[in-house]
Amino acid sequence: MGIISLITGKPGPSGFGSASTAEQVTEGIDASNLTAIVTGGASGIGLETARVLALRKAHVIIAARNLEAANEAKHLILKDNVTARVNVLKLNLCSIRSIRAFVDNFNALNLPLNILINNAGVMFCPYKLSEDGIEMQFATNHLGHFLLTNLLLDKMKNTARATGIEGRIVNLSSIAHLHTYEDGIQFDKINDEIGYSDKKAYGQSKLANILHANELSRRLQEEGVNITANSVHPGFIMTPLMRHSALLMKFLKMFTFFMWKDIPQGAATTCYVALHPSLKGVYGKYYLDGNEFEPSQFARDEMLARKLWDFSNKLVNSASKP
């Protein structure tokens, strides 16, 4: 999959390419026996992902910080699909307290959990610390999803065991993982304002998404659990995620218009990895335009992935202390 395929939309080995839409890559798939959580499912590609999963008859839980927007998203889905099964739950990924409350509220619904799509995020935001004292992009894009996934793993394991259906975890990363700090992850300087770069901090968090999926995959395989974890780059899409850099993105789009996707195309790779039967038993891969793609050297570093896992655990534990 190269620049020509990106521009032309020519399908890759999977039969899909950059021009494929979420509906196209899931055509004919019956997900009526599946329950999925989509973080950030109130807008952008998260909403399209939730809509298409519901269209394929999955029971979808939209996890979002803004409940008003999430309920509007639910209404939009139901407007065109009156039989859709959609729930809305509040989730603020830059708050450990909110993440734990979300998991409690989800468990109270007494639902199974087959698919977890870690979609939500922030991008290129000015330096800021979360309520737990962690740099905002790292806290929201990586650490929040790291904790959320860990807290939901037992539910996913129990579901996979009881149903015999493979569970799937999808981390939304980005090609921006190529543009990070010199050491990949600044373990000793995660919260440093001096030297902070909004672009590199975003790239660092997206690198962390891939490393998280890879190390999680290793652990799941070692445990013999019927759950896979993979990461995806959705492509370049103008969504609310770019609110901190909208002018810059619009300027760049003038010169790189051939590389940009619309929202249905942007949600395609996520939906493909979450639902397509050809990915059964596939662990720890990175997907772009509906096809497997090789990420950066940092992203393939197993030792870095293990170090990030241990670091993330310690960070969550220290931030959780009163």
Q: Domain-by-domain residue ranges, the chain?
A: 22-317
d(CA 236, CA 174): 9
Cα R_g (the chain), whole angstroms: 18
pLDDT for residue 10: 78
Backbone angles phi, psi at 12, to 5 degrees: -95, -160
pLDDT at residue 315, as a whole number: 97
Which parts of the chain register pLDDT below 70?
Answer: 1-9, 238-260, 322
In a 3-state reduction of DSSP, which class is residue 29?
coil
Tokens 């950066």 belong to 296
Q: Which phi and psi (to 5°) does residue 295 adopt?
A: -80, -170
What local confidence, expressed as pLDDT, does residue 322 receive? 63
Structure tokens at 62: 């939209």
The token pair at 188 is 């000793």
Q: Which residue has the tokens 């839409």?
A: 21
3-class SS of residue 30 = coil
Residue 31 corresponds to which tokens in the numbers above?
A: 């997900």
| pTM for the predicted model, two decimal places | 0.92
pLDDT the model gives residue 7: 55
In the residue annotation, 196 being an active-site residue is answered as yes
**Where does residue 217 rank: exposed (0-12), middle (13-18), buried (19+ CB within 10 A)?**
buried
Distance, CA of 301 to chain centre: 20
Instruction: Point out the catalytic residue in the list 181, 196, 202, 272.
Output: 196
- pLDDT at residue 321, as a whole number: 72
Which residues are registered as beta bridge partners of 132?
none
If we measure between CA atoms, which residue out of 176, 216, 183, 181 comes closest to residue 196? 181
Answer for the pair 76, 103: CB distance below 8 angstroms, yes or no: no
Contacts of 320 (CB under 8 A, 6+ apart): 96, 132
What DSSP string runs through 3-17? HHHHHH----TTS--
Closest CA to 176 of 126, 132, 137, 222: 137
CATH entry, 22-317, from 3.90.650.10, 3.40.190.10, 3.40.50.720, 3.40.50.2300: 3.40.50.720
| CA proximity to 91, closest of 109, 118, 56 | 118
Segment (H or E) for 62: strand 59-64
